[in-house]
Amino acid sequence: MGNRRHFAVIVLVAALAVAGTTWRRAVAATPGAPPPVAPDSLMDTGLYEPGRPGVVDPRNRPFSPQYPLWTDGAAKARWIYLPPGTTIDTTDVHEWDLPVGTKLWKEFGFGGRRVETRFIWRATRGQWVFATYVWNAEGSAAVKAPDDGLPGAAEIAPGKFHNIPSVDQCRACHVSDRTQVLGFNALQLSTDRDPNAIHGEPLQPGMTTLKTLNEDGLLQPARPELVVNPPRIAARSAEERAVLGYLAGNCGACHNRKSELAPLGLFWKHGEVAAAGAETVRSMLGHGTKWQVPGVPEGESVLVDPANPQDSALLRRMKSRFPSSQMPPLGTVVRDQEALDSVARWIASQRDTSR
């Protein structure tokens, strides 16, 4: 009798679970329904083939931005899913509008093991869903992290730990005047890739580029000119091109003409830099900052000081890992030494041009 009762309870719970799932789907499809939410398991987001954990569904397109975001040296893999029959609205060539149903994933690994996979889903026209999935030690499964994030997910340097971001932190970087997908745009997917890009990753076979998107008819209106003349940062030197690309990839999401920080006069978004590299450089030289560089007389701090590169506010804030002064403010606890060296050399190279 006890076994039968136990079996009956299991059947009832399973039935309620199925009914609950059906009800949630029905509610999600009706006006005024609760907002869509990400599933609890990464396996249920659509990244992998059904029943084959770790095997990426071939409908998900891998891609690699030419100017990647610095995340303490993490190894990354990225995919995008575009629903069948949909296209990317490229009416504004620099501000793509991705179709409803678009999903993106970015996997982060440290020390040879997967630590987290971030997920962005355009569930409805006006609703983007953000979630992060934390991998177990065996790398066999990943479950959704708390909305408040998860500190200390992995030690990445002695005494320094990678923190899983909160949903609010995700929105802080991705939502400016509009929700934006960082790293998936005309400049980042250009086939004229910068060979000197800081932390640049070589394209692997089968990766998505402007050329493949255009060939597959996924850009509307079609943009053959982006294939014939791929986007490229107009710069006076290879090093300058790399530095401006780094600023676009790491800083442009916040520092652009349409964000709340526009009054600062720093316009580093991908389209702005690609279209006006020389203007961007001129605006940086001697640009006064309200942030006081330590050791510099009050009121004399500037963003880029070719005469004294190490006193440039840009370099000082890139070096800092104090929450009140570091730039970028989120997503990193370790200095990006390669970028610091490149930026310092570039600033010093401006001595003659700034006179």
Distance of CA 185 to the CA centre of its chain: 11
Measured CA to CA in angstroms, residue 83 lies from 87, 122, 223, 335 at distances of: 8, 11, 20, 38
Amino acid at 20: G
SS3 274: helix
Pairwise CA distance, residues 236 & 166, whole Å: 40
What is the rounded CA–CA span in Å between residue 173 and residue 212? 28
Going by C-alpha positions, the residue among 185, 108, 111, 182 that lies closest to residue 145 is 108
- Residue 155 sits at the vertex; the CA angle it makes with 152 and 160, to the nearest 5 degrees, is 80
Kind plus residue range of the DSSP H or E element containing 14: helix 2-28
Distance CA(319)–CA(325), nearest Å, equals 9
Q: In whole angstroms, give the CA distance from residue 67 to residue 65.
A: 5
Count of other CB atoms within 10 angstroms of residue 306: 19
Place of tokens 């000119």: 225
Residue 53's Cα: distance from chain center in Å?
Answer: 24
For residues 303 and 266, the answer to whether their CB atoms sit within 8 Å is yes
Instruction: Using DSSP bridges, classify how beta strands 127-135 and 142-144 pair: parallel, antiparallel or unpaired.
Output: antiparallel
What pLDDT was estimated at residue 273? 83
- Domains of the chain, residue spans: 42-180, 238-348
pLDDT score recorded for residue 271: 83
- Tokens 């409908």, located at residue: 59
Residue 336: burial class (beta carbons within 10 Å; 0-12, 13-18, 19+): buried
Distance CA 266, CA 284 (A): 8
Looking at residue 176, its pLDDT comes to 63
- Quote the CA–CA distance of 234 and 330 in Å, as a whole number: 29
The DSSP secondary-structure symbol of 180 reads -
pLDDT of the chain, 355 residues: tens digit per residue:
343 333 333 333 333 333 333 333 333 445 667 889 999 999 999 999 998 988 999 999 999 999 999 999 999 999 999 999 999 999 999 899 999 999 999 999 999 999 999 999 999 999 999 999 999 999 999 999 999 999 999 999 999 999 999 989 888 888 766 667 889 999 999 999 999 999 999 999 999 999 999 999 999 999 999 999 999 998 999 999 999 999 999 999 899 888 888 899 998 888 888 777 788 898 899 999 999 999 999 999 999 999 999 999 999 999 999 988 999 998 999 999 999 999 999 999 998 665 4
Instruction: Give dist(CA 39, CA 37) in Å, integer.
Output: 6
Which tokens in the block code for residue 188?
A: 């980042």
Beta bridge partners, 116, equal: 108, 134
Helix (H, G, I), strand (E, B) or coil at 283: helix
What is the pLDDT at residue 353? Answer: 61
Q: What share of the chain is helix, strand, coil (3-state, %, to 5)?
A: 30, 20, 50
Distance between CA 252 and CA 67 in Å, rounded? 11
* CA distances from residue 191 to 94, 213, 226 in whole angstroms, order as listed: 16, 11, 9
Classified as helix, coil or strand, 220 is: strand
User: What's the pLDDT at 15?
Assistant: 34
